[in-house]
């Protein structure tokens, strides 16, 4: 049985350095804020996109997909792995694009060995091999937020739970495919060349989003592209290169913060503040509480007035 996989965020910086730590060269992720094919073309070459959405818990499995058609031959001839463990779908979606674009991307010796080793496996065994890969699991977990309150225990989700899922879209062999480890096979969305991918994938994503209520906005979309610093150097754009280098520095800082929880630090800070206040004696402590109460009362009164007025009788009652 494979060890646990922790939840990771759908974040361009997380995904970029996750693949870099697995040995992948010259690839990064960019976050997309609109379903605009031209915007996607401008980031090209685009190897694929990763889509995060709220998973419909309790929905019954269907023999045919809502959109597209199952391609069982592609499940054998391409890299497609069934998802066999909780919380692994983010990294699995990345690898679904990456390991099917290895003719264009340097995936590094370790992932090359993994793909070669699992090449003859059926989808379920590929999923088990991925879930039990110590290298991939450790790199994945290194980007999980450190929190003593996070419960990563595996349990079946109920219809009341908010469950999110990652799926990948990429071009393979002249077709646009949706790669979802919870489905029995890749889903074909018709003919598509590598160059046409941005134009063909946007309508597919739009149709998928339209299946949700109009008020549902909890989606996230990132694209796997060639390292943008390479193009900046090729065209001699020093400003763009500087911006991309600054972005990388910010990602590294954010990823470093994810590895630490600050509960202990926060607790010590609060204890230090309390010790400082108590050093003045009981009178000083009472003065501190009174000042805090007055400040809270003032803020609540101002907030109510901002929202449309408040009577003079309204206020905060001291406990």
Is the CB of residue 241 less than 8 Å from the CB of residue 229? yes
CA 263 to chain centre: 24
Neighbours of 112 (CB within 10 A): 14
Can you give the length of the chain in residues?
A: 319
Which position among 140, 165, 189, 192 bears the catalytic label? 165
What are the Cα distances from residue 267, in Å, to 146, 261, 270, 273?
A: 16, 12, 5, 10
Structure tokens at 158: 């109920």
Is the CB of residue 65 less than 8 Å from the CB of residue 208? no
Judged on CB neighbours under 10 Å (0-12, 13-18, 19+), 137 is buried
CA 143 to chain centre: 10
Say what the alpha-carbon torsion angle 111, 28, 12, 192 is, to the nearest 10 degrees.
Answer: -90
Which position among 39, 41, 89, 140 bears the catalytic label? 89
3-state secondary structure of 274: helix
* Residue 71: per-residue pLDDT: 93
89 is catalytic: yes
Nearest to 240 by CA among 231, 251, 232: 232
Is the CB of residue 42 less than 8 Å from the CB of residue 235? no
Helix-helix angle 89-98:123-131, to 10 degrees: 120
Between CA 301 and CA 251 the distance in angstroms is 40
Nearest to 50 by CA among 92, 104, 93, 107: 93
* Residue 223: per-residue pLDDT: 95
* Residue 144: per-residue pLDDT: 79
Q: DSSP letter at 14?
A: H
Between CA 252 and CA 166 the distance in angstroms is 23
3-state secondary structure of 299: helix
Nearest to 51 by CA among 185, 211, 222, 226: 222
Between CA 105 and CA 216 the distance in angstroms is 35
Expressed in angstroms, the distance from the first to the final Cα of the chain is 54
Residue by residue, pLDDT tens for the chain (319 residues) are 456 888 888 889 899 999 999 999 999 999 998 888 998 998 889 999 999 887 766 666 677 888 899 999 999 889 999 988 888 888 899 999 999 999 999 999 999 999 999 988 999 999 999 999 999 999 998 887 766 555 555 544 545 556 778 899 999 999 999 999 989 999 999 999 999 999 999 999 999 888 887 777 778 899 999 999 999 999 999 999 999 999 999 999 988 887 777 677 777 787 777 777 677 676 777 787 888 889 998 888 888 776 654 443 344 434 4
Torsional class of 73: left (φ above 0), alpha (ψ -120 to 50), beta (otherwise): alpha
Is the CB of residue 253 less than 8 Å from the CB of residue 77? no
192 is catalytic: no
Between CA 164 and CA 159 the distance in angstroms is 12
Note the helical H segments in 63-180. 72-77, 89-98, 108-118, 123-131, 134-141
pTM over 0.75: yes
Is the CB of residue 26 less than 8 Å from the CB of residue 230? yes
Between CA 137 and CA 310 the distance in angstroms is 56
* Residue 314: per-residue pLDDT: 41
């Amino acid at each position: 049985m494979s060890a646990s996989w922790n939840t990771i965020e759908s974040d361009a910086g997380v995904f970029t350095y996750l693949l870099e730590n697995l040995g992948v060269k010259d690839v990064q992720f960019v976050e997309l804020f609109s379903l605009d094919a031209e915007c996607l073309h401008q980031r090209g070459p685009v190897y694929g996109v990763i889509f995060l959405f709220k998973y419909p818990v309790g929905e019954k499995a269907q023999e045919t997909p809502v959109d597209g058609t199952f391609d069982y031959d592609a499940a054998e001839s391409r890299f497609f792995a069934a998802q066999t463990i909780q919380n692994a779908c983010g990294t699995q979606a990345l690898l679904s694009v990456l390991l099917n674009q290895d003719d264009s991307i340097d995936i590094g010796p370790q992932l090359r060995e993994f793909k070669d080793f699992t090449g003859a496996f059926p989808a379920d065994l590929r999923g088990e091999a991925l879930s039990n890969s110590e290298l991939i699991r450790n790199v994945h977990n290194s980007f999980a937020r450190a929190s003593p309150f996070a419960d990563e225990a595996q349990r079946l989700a109920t219809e009341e739970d908010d469950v999110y899922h990652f799926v990948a879209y990429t071009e393979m062999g002249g077709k646009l495919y949706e790669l979802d480890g919870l489905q029995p096979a890749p889903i074909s969305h018709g003919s598509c060349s590598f160059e046409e991918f941005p134009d063909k994938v946007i309508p597919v994503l739009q149709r998928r989003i339209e299946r949700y209520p109009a008020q549902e906005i909890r989606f996230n979309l990132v694209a796997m592209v060639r390292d943008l610093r390479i193009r900046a150097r090729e065209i001699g754009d020093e400003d763009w290169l500087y911006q991309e280098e600054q972005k990388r520095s910010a990602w590294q800082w954010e990823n470093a913060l994810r590895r630490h929880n600050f509960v202990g630090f926060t607790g010590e800070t609060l204890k230090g503040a309390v010790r400082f206040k108590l050093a003045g004696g009981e009178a000083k402590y009472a003065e501190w509480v009174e000042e805090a109460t007055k400040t809270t009362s003032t803020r609540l009164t101002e907030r109510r007035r901002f929202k449309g007025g408040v009577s003079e009788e309204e206020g905060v009652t001291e406990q």
